[in-house]
Amino acid sequence: MARWQPDARGRLEAAAFELFRERGFEQTTVADIAARAGLDKRTFYRLFGDKREALFSGSGHLEEVLVREVTETDAGPFEAVVAAFRRVAEEIFADRLELVRARQTVIDSSPELQERELRKTGSLVAAVTAALRARGLDETTATLATESGATVFRVAYARWVAPDSDASLSDLIAEVAAELRAITSALPETP
Amino acid sequence: MARWQPDARGRLEAAAFELFRERGFEQTTVADIAARAGLDKRTFYRLFGDKREALFSGSGHLEEVLVREVTETDAGPFEAVVAAFRRVAEEIFADRLELVRARQTVIDSSPELQERELRKTGSLVAAVTAALRARGLDETTATLATESGATVFRVAYARWVAPDSDASLSDLIAEVAAELRAITSALPETP
DNA sequence: AGTGCCGATGTCACCTTGCGACATGACCGT
DNA sequence: ACGGTCATGTCGCAAGGTGACATCGGCACT
């Protein structure tokens, strides 16, 4: 048989997730993770840039789906972004509430992981903005639409993950988007 | 006289900023910073949680001003947040374009610093949201207003810092806020 | 003045992260 | 069978970050 067990990357991700839940992120060393996966510390660093990355491997896929959806529609920019997030909600998140909650608990327990999550959504926003720009929109419009859509998603996501919630993420996104419209369309004060 | 030079913290901040500009963030070690400030590495870590923090000391003040402004107005939530950011633009940023540009150049050159910046604005957003909630607004409204206001600020700030810009930050904020209204108030598609 | 505590700093030792360089052995095409 | 390649392991090291203890000036109280 093979000299190495298959799917080293997957085993490391799983080991990291387990250990982070068992002992917490800070109390887990990369050597621990590698040991549980039956690998060496150095191998971990060949597959992941750093310890945090082991928890964020899915974000590439997310970006892919979002960019595709935003590119293949001709709705207005904000509507397009919101629709894309709803699609992501259905395709990727819908059946995984418990997993997502566990993962979020880990992230919430460590500032380092929170920073990394912020950066991941940041680069995701950049990718979507670029996709909108490719549709001919100007920089400011593209950025505002994407950032606002992401805000809507974040708020909806927070509600969805909250312990007592049971609405679907996609529905929550639609609700929050409506609320955002209401808030921003109030008349501005006159200078 | 004093046994130690005064303002150890200020000297460390200055030394860090200089060194980050001269050699870049990654190429600067904490020992370097401490040495330039005439202090020890250990002292640096007593005053700053980590190397990145040396560049983000001002964010406390920012938060203070924002919370004050948002609390002392009775405008609608989004308008209140935008107005607060305009005030910050005038009070804190207006006369410091060159400094801000230099600082931003440093941040843009390092992912670690970008993560930290994201987190700083994140906690700032949380503080403003809490201030709005204290005015009796519900969680979602407060969050959306704050996040949207922050988005407007970020976009305006990016334009202001851009090399060829010369409008005032406060004016840019007002312009971008108007654009956001336009984008979100387009009619949503019918399901 | 003497005494003793406190607070800011320095020193030392240590662990962990993250990386470069090199070794090893399984698999693959020829 | 041979040589290359790829994934992994081993070793060593710089830098980030922390705990424990030492040092020394200032301050209060006597």
Q: How confident is the model at residue B150 (pLDDT cuts 50, 70, 90)?
A: very high
pLDDT at site A154: 96
Q: Is B22 exposed, middle or buried (0-12, 13-18, 19+ CB in 10 A)?
A: exposed
pLDDT at site A3: 60
Can you tell me the mean pLDDT for B144-153?
A: 98
Q: How confident is the model at residue A149 (pLDDT cuts 50, 70, 90)?
A: very high
DSSP assignment letter at A47:
H
- Examine the pLDDT at B1 and tell me if it is beyond 50: no
DSSP assignment letter at B93:
I
Query: Cβ of A151 and B155 within 8 Å?
Result: no
Residue-wise pLDDT tens digits, B38-77 = 999 999 999 999 999 999 998 999 999 999 999 999 999 9
Q: Is B187 exposed, middle or buried (0-12, 13-18, 19+ CB in 10 A)?
A: exposed
| A83: number of Cβ within 10 Å | 20
| B131: number of Cβ within 10 Å | 23
The B-side interface with A (CB below 8 A) comprises 75-79, 82-83, 111, 114-116, 118-119, 122, 140-141, 143-145, 147-148, 151-152, 154-155, 159, 176-181, 183-186, 188-189
- Examine the pLDDT at A1 and tell me if it is beyond 50: no
- Examine the pLDDT at B24 and tell me if it is beyond 70: yes
Instruction: Quote the tokens at residue A43.
Output: 């191998």
Distance of A164 CA from D19 C1′ (whole Å): 42
Q: How confident is the model at residue B185 (pLDDT cuts 50, 70, 90)?
A: confident
Can you tell me the mean pLDDT for B99-125?
A: 96
pLDDT at site A8: 84
C-alpha angle B77-B79-B83 in degrees, rounded to nearest 5: 120
- Examine the pLDDT at B12 and tell me if it is beyond 50: yes
Q: Within 7 Å: CB of B42 and strand D?
A: yes
Can you tell me the mean pLDDT for A66-83?
A: 96
Query: Cβ of B144 and A155 within 8 Å?
Result: yes
Q: pLDDT > 70: what percent of chain B? A: 95
Instruction: Quote the tokens at residue B138.
Output: 């519900």
Residue-wise pLDDT tens digits, B47-56 = 999 999 999 9
pLDDT at site B190: 45
pTM for the structure as a whole:
0.90
- Examine the pLDDT at A190 and tell me if it is beyond 50: no
Q: Within 7 Å: CB of B49 and strand C?
A: no
For residue A43, which of A7, A18, A76, A71 has the smallest C-alpha distance? A7
Residue-wise pLDDT tens digits, A7-64 = 789 999 999 999 999 999 999 999 999 999 999 999 999 999 999 999 998 888 999 9
- Examine the pLDDT at B191 and tell me if it is beyond 50: no
Q: How confident is the model at residue B5 (pLDDT cuts 50, 70, 90)?
A: confident
Residue with tokens 């789906």: A65
pLDDT at site B188: 57
Can you tell me the mean pLDDT for A62-89?
A: 96
Cα distance from A85 to chain B (closest Cα, Å)?
15
Q: How confident is the model at residue B2 (pLDDT cuts 50, 70, 90)?
A: low
CB pairs below 8 Å between A and B: how many? 104
Longest CA pairwise span in chain B (Å): 76
Residue-wise pLDDT tens digits, A95-148 = 999 999 999 999 999 999 999 999 999 999 999 999 999 999 999 999 999 999
What average pLDDT is seen over chain B? 93
Q: How confident is the model at residue B3 (pLDDT cuts 50, 70, 90)?
A: low
DSSP assignment letter at A37:
T
pLDDT at site A172: 97
Give the C-alpha distances (Å, rounded to integers) separating A36 from A41, A94, B176: 11, 30, 51
pLDDT at site A188: 57
